[in-house]
């Protein structure tokens, strides 16, 4: 019932609906990449270098090695979505575990976890990610792990606040009186009732993870060539801005539209899951 009301609330929000439809379209494109990609994204053709957009067979043109830009954009969407979901999934799991322990137990446990969280927040996340990636071998798995391990603090603080509010409610006290273990109270009763804000945070976090991965790939510290990513395609195009503007235009637009779509969807979820929203309370 809650999900049905949430979907109806998002459908009434045109911006959130547009963001959700674009996100679904991106999923479809990444899933169907082998079928809809017109060319091999790594196929080099010396005779097809710098073909402009709308060239027959190359709707978005070609790059300095004659590779089809549309094919590289389609396959690059897979990397961006994979990094976004795996990194945010990892950060959400860590944030849920630490935030739940801190919010439910309080006292010394809460103090230790929150001071560690504050310590992590003191480091600029991008510089921390750059430092770790520079030490480790750049790869898609390292990028996902580093982004996930450096972005859990917001979820932890949010879950802590939610559980501190919920653990004194009647349903939680009744479960404790009936002899339910702390583990069961946290994971069966408290966390399910705090997942609304976490879902919103995770949706917005995917946009941030995609932007971070694109930045790392642009700097050459992300997924390594020849694997196409939007950031690497954008980095390749910066040397040919005057000669081949499309090499920077299309990946830049893809990153912009994707990040904007997730932000719009996240804001729509925030409004839809707001407990004071009349459409959900009715």
Which mean pLDDT values do the consecutive 10-residue runs of the chain (282 residues) have?
A: 70 86 93 92 90 92 92 92 91 93 91 93 81 80 88 92 88 86 86 85 90 87 84 88 90 93 89 61 44
pLDDT, residue 21, reads 93
DSSP 8-state code for residue 46:
G
pLDDT, residue 275, reads 56
- Counting Cα atoms < 13 Å in the Cβ hemisphere of 259 gives 15
**Cα–Cα distances in Å, from 225 out to 42, 217, 222, 231?**
9, 9, 9, 11
CA angle 114, 117, 121 (to 5 degrees): 140
50-71 in b/e form (b: 16+ CB < 10 A) is bbebeeeebebbbbeebbbbbb
Could you count the other beta carbons within 10 Å of the beta carbon of residue 137? 8
pLDDT, residue 279, reads 47
Angle at which helices 153-166 and 195-218 cross, to 10°: 180
Query: CATH number of the domain at 79-268, please?
Result: 1.10.3720.10
> Which residues have CB under 8 Å from 271's CB, separation 6+?
9, 13, 16, 277
List, in sequence order, every residue forming a beta bridge with 68; answer none if it has no partner. Answer: 62
Burial of 33 (0-12, 13-18, 19+ CB in 10 A): middle
DSSP 8-state code for residue 223:
S
């Amino acid at each position: 019932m809650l999900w049905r009301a949430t979907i109806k609330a998002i459908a009434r929000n045109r911006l959130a609906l547009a963001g959700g439809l674009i996100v679904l379209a991106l999923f479809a494109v990444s899933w169907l990449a082998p079928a809809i990609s017109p060319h091999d994204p790594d196929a080099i053709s010396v005779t097809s270098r710098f073909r402009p957009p709308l060239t027959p067979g190359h709707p978005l043109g070609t790059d300095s090695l004659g590779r089809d830009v549309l094919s590289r954009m389609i396959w690059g969407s897979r990397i961006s979505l994979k990094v976004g979901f795996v990194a945010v999934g990892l950060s959400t799991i860590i944030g849920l575990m630490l935030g739940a322990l801190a919010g439910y137990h309080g006292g010394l446990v809460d103090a230790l976890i929150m001071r560690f969280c504050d310590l992590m927040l003191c480091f600029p996340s991008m510089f921390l990610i750059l430092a770790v990636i520079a030490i480790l071998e750049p790869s898609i798995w390292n990028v996902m792990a580093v982004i996930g391990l450096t972005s859990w603090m917001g979820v932890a603080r949010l879950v802590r606040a939610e559980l501190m509010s919920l653990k004194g409610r009647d349903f939680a006290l009744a479960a404790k009186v009936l002899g339910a273990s702390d583990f069961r109270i946290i994971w069966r009763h408290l966390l399910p009732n705090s997942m609304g804000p976490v879902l919103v945070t995770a949706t917005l976090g995917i946009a941030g993870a995609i932007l971070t991965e694109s930045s790392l790939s642009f700097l050459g510290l992300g997924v390594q060539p020849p694997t196409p990513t939007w950031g690497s395609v954008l980095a390749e195009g910066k040397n040919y801005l005057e000669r081949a503007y499309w090499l920077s235009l299309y990946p830049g637009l893809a990153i912009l539209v994707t990040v904007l779509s997730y932000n719009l969807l996240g804001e729509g979820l925030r409004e839809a899951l707001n407990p004071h929203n009349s459409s959900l309370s009715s």
